[in-house]
Chains A and B, each alone.
Chain A
Amino acid sequence: MGFWDKLANLDRRWIYLSVAISVIFPMLFVIKFPVEISPEARQLYNAVESLPDSSVVFLTFDYYPSTLAETEPMSIAALNQMFRKNMKVITMTTIPLGGPSIAERVTRMVAEKYNKVYGVDYVNLGYKANYVAVLKGMGSSIESIYPSDNRGTPLKDLPLMNKVKNYNDIKFIYVVADNAIVDYWISIVNAQYKTPVGAGMTAVMAPKMYPFVQAGQLTGLLGGMKGAAEYEELVGVKGTAIRGMDAQSLVHLLIIGFVILGNISYFVTRKKTGPGVMK
């Protein structure tokens, strides 16, 4: 068996080992490349930045723990920007598995940094089933859908919620999601109630949202860990997404390298054996 044949039948464990090294290496040795800001990320940042101080905004935690590496840095950077501008933040989730806990943990962590008080500066509404009904229902009355917050406190006992009845009182909705829920935020909330919506999404979901950005139905978009890193750069928070860029860069380059190598071995061995023989 020649070199190219061996390469064509490379044991997958070597590939796994290479991926592991590509992820671990940047943890030990930092290789920092500048993160360039995409127009969509800048648009989202500017949309939040241009809101008057003390505006009431929605921040959603529509993601599962499995995608925390991509989505959580977006939430943290967004909260930093919002609290720095003294905005009043209402958080919620359409994800039953862990959504309320992630929202509670992340919001509390950033709120402590800015000495924000629960109930006055921020509120976590938590989770309610049937997201279409929840999104539509909050257009009439948030309290009719969420009679109490995630901690069981009636909304009427929270000073922030006394000022907020429905979407008319919300200046911006910042959706961080790893699923198609953004479609509903656009088609139900933005289209019907005209509240501006911006989104941070996993890299695999983000391409679907470009038409909505072009149509102006989505005010800015972050895609994956790169998008999160761009937002951290914009906000000035040195978080996990910027640190993760090195590992992501190396793994992407490794995969590109494997694709090129795989194709070279494909063409070399095909010449020897004829087309269609190699799998």
Chain B
Amino acid sequence: MRTTLPVIIAFISGLIMVVSFFLNPQTTFLGNTEEEVLQWASIIGGFTLLLGVVSIVRVNSKTVGQRKKGWLFNLATLISIFAMAIPSILPVTSQSNFGSIFYKVFPESWGSLFGTAPGSIYDWLFNYLDSPMMATMFAMLAFYIASAAYRAFRARNAEATLLLLTAVLVMLWRIPMGEAFLRLFGDNIPGYINTYIMNGANAAVQRGIVIGAALGAASMSLRIMLGIERTYMGKG
């Protein structure tokens, strides 16, 4: 039963989505059911986020509790989670049930600090800590890419040379200085790169990848619906 029931649910849900694709959602029973299923999927998606938070708290609390190596980093993670989450879920006004109780204890002027609106604690932490830190991490890539390009991007054989030349041309094409430089060799060079590299070779390869991935996704969906693929239940 533990295996059969999920397979039946997966089959029925999948069948509804496939069949309802061809039906009008406003006028048919299956179309309406599809709408219901999608709402369920969205709600379940919300719970999976909660599950993620619970999992992070559990794993990090355990490491902090046992004072394992690097436990201070886990503590920082826990503090960050609660510092962002708690002020954002506290009531902004006393108009809700929870708000009326909350603002009997705390002054109502604190309302502007809570929620996610501009000026709130969450907004401040996001704009002045989270956002710059994420941008910094991403910006560091420029340094590593420059270093990696110097050490690893070698014309060792014909394929590597072709890749290297294409990369150099595209990199030049993607910057105003490079475009001006390419025009020295002919006014149409930047246009040729767009036509033959990006819309030619690149598009052909990407199309192959997209079609391959779509066929793979379709066959995997069929396998799940028919109960052949059961790894999502933790079974082989």
Residues of B within 8 A of A266 (CB): 154-155
Judge whether B41 and A210 touch: CB under 8 Å: no
Judge whether B175 and A248 touch: CB under 8 Å: yes
Binds A, one of B54-62, B102-110, B116-124: B116-124
> Is A262 in contact with chain B by the CB < 8 A criterion?
yes
Determine which of B123, B150, B154 lies in contact with A10 in the assembled complex, contact meaning CB atoms within 8 Å: B150
> Is A253 in contact with chain B by the CB < 8 A criterion?
yes
> Is B212 in contact with chain A by the CB < 8 A criterion?
no
B161 to chain A: closest CB distance in Å? 9
Binds B, one of A53-61, A64-72, A83-91: A64-72
Q: Which residue of B lies closest to A17 (CB)?
A: B143
Determine which of A104, A208, A258 lies in contact with B118 in the assembled complex, contact meaning CB atoms within 8 Å: A104
Judge whether A66 and B134 touch: CB under 8 Å: yes
Alpha-carbon distance A132/B127, docked complex (angstroms): 28
Judge whether B45 and A255 touch: CB under 8 Å: no
Judge whether A66 and B135 touch: CB under 8 Å: yes
Residues 240-260 (chain A) with a chain B CB within 8 angstroms: 245, 248-256, 258-259
Q: Known: A10-B150, A210-B203, A255-B146. Contact between A145 and B39, CB under 8 A?
A: yes
User: In which size bucket is the chain A interface?
Assistant: 35 or more
> Is A179 in contact with chain B by the CB < 8 A criterion?
no
Alpha-carbon distance A253/B146, docked complex (angstroms): 11
> Is A100 in contact with chain B by the CB < 8 A criterion?
yes
Judge whether A98 and B175 touch: CB under 8 Å: no
Judge whether A226 and B135 touch: CB under 8 Å: no
Alpha-carbon distance A23/B143, docked complex (angstroms): 11
Binds B, one of A43-51, A134-142, A169-177: A134-142
Residues of A within 8 A of B177 (CB): 31, 33, 249-250, 252-253
> Is B194 in contact with chain A by the CB < 8 A criterion?
yes
Residues of B within 8 A of A208 (CB): 206, 209-210
Alpha-carbon distance A266/B210, docked complex (angstroms): 37
In this complex, which of B49, B126, B143, B178 has the most chain A Cβ atoms within 10 angstroms of its Cβ? Answer: B143
Residues of A within 8 A of B149 (CB): 255, 258-259, 262
> Is A35 in contact with chain B by the CB < 8 A criterion?
yes
Alpha-carbon distance A75/B155, docked complex (angstroms): 39
Number of interface residues of B (CB under 8 A): 63
Alpha-carbon distance A151/B171, docked complex (angstroms): 42
A202 to chain B: closest CB distance in Å? 10
Residues of A within 8 A of B134 (CB): 64-66, 98
**What sequence of 0s and 1s flags, for each residue 142-154 of chain B, a beta carbon within 8 Å of any chain A beta carbon?**
1101110111011
Q: Which residue of B lies closest to A202 (CB)?
A: B138
Beyond A35-B176, A65-B134, A137-B39, 11 extra complex contacts between A and B, CB < 8 Å: A15-B143, A16-B147, A33-B180, A36-B179, A96-B49, A134-B42, A140-B34, A226-B176, A245-B175, A249-B176, A258-B146
Nearest 7 CB-CB pairings of A with B: A130-B45, A129-B45, A133-B41, A33-B176, A65-B131, A137-B38, A66-B138
Which residues of B pack against A, CB within 8 Å? Answer: 21, 25-26, 31, 34-35, 38-39, 41-42, 44-46, 48-49, 116-118, 122-123, 126-127, 130-132, 134-135, 137-139, 142-143, 145-147, 149-151, 153-155, 164, 167-168, 171-172, 174-180, 190, 194, 198-199, 202-203, 206-207, 209-210
Which residues of A pack against B, CB within 8 Å? Answer: 10, 12, 15-16, 18-20, 23, 31, 33-36, 38-39, 64-69, 96-98, 100-101, 104-105, 108, 128-130, 132-134, 136-137, 139-141, 144-145, 150-151, 183, 192, 203, 207-211, 213-214, 223-224, 226, 229, 245, 248-256, 258-259, 261-263, 266, 279
